[in-house]
Amino acid sequence: MHEISDERIAEPRNALPIGVFDSGVGGLTVLRALRERLPEEDLLYLGDMARLPYGTKSAQTVSRYACQAAGVLATRGIKLLVVACNTASALALDALREHFPGLPVIGVLEPGAAAACAATRSGRVAVIATEGTVRGGAYVRAIQARRPEVQVSATACPLFVSLAEEGWHTGPVVEAVARHYLEPVLEAAAPDVLVLGCTHFPVFSDTLSALVGSGTMLVDSASTTADAVAEMLLHNRLNAASGRIGQSHYMTTDAPERFARVARAFLGAEQAPSRVELVDL
């Protein structure tokens, strides 16, 4: 069990930031959506780049890493935790809620599944994600719990995470990897919805859209997660004061310079390395 820092205990709870963590920079897609949806909120982001990727790790390891990352955020003082990592959302939410009682926790998987169910017309949905997310079957269960008739295929695309973290978002290598992963899926399932089941994957949207064609909609969980966060803040009366301009603070467990460089593709703006704090888990 973790407690918030002494410095922030005296603050009204609604004045505390929203904590967001991911295994790397991919969760910045969620942070960007939160910033657009909730401009008055302060956001505290942690990218665990020292232990990237989570998607190839065991469920026990992912849960341990997630609780350690969330612990850093909790000790800074947060009012709500967003797990901006599909693998951790699939494998670690129960552990996080047990370790941080009283702290509202939202993962990205359930909002993504809900968006896919709302979008599909043919009832055929394909999910691309990390090995851990696919192996656990969480997206298939979440989608079919809402719409049992939907046919769901799930494909692991582990190289996408490495490419995204290296800043390779377009070009022949990305196109070749995308074809390798997706062509068998498109031929076998003919989905009308493709769920980007990893927060790193939206940076490949242009390449993926060209590959799947106009008949298949891409769905990612960033905007739907931001909507879920807004609803939870309202339900718990945790909204920051209206009219203020929220601030974002970034932390990483490795290579602040690299974090700042790669983050540009996810945030749409340059980040100075001096603005990225190095933390040790």
Pairing mode, strands 248-252 and 43-47:
parallel
**Residues taking part in catalysis:** 85, 198
Select from 198, 177, 182 the least CA-distant residue to 112: 198
Q: Is 54 annotated as a binding residue?
A: yes
Q: Is 23 annotated as a binding residue?
A: yes
Q: Is 86 annotated as a binding residue?
A: yes
Q: Is 200 annotated as a binding residue?
A: yes
Q: Is 22 annotated as a binding residue?
A: yes
Q: Is 2 annotated as a binding residue?
A: no
* Contact in structure between 76 and 11 (CB atoms under 8 Å): no
**Structure tokens that stand for 68 in this block:** 């350690």
The span from the CA of 245 to the CA of 40, in Å, is 5
Q: Is 227 annotated as a binding residue?
A: no
Q: Is 133 annotated as a binding residue?
A: no
Measured from the Cβ of residue 101, the count of other Cβ atoms closer than 10 Å reads: 8
Which residues fall in the annotated binding site for substrate? 22-23, 54-55, 86-87, 199-200
Which residues fall in the annotated binding site? 22-23, 54-55, 86-87, 199-200
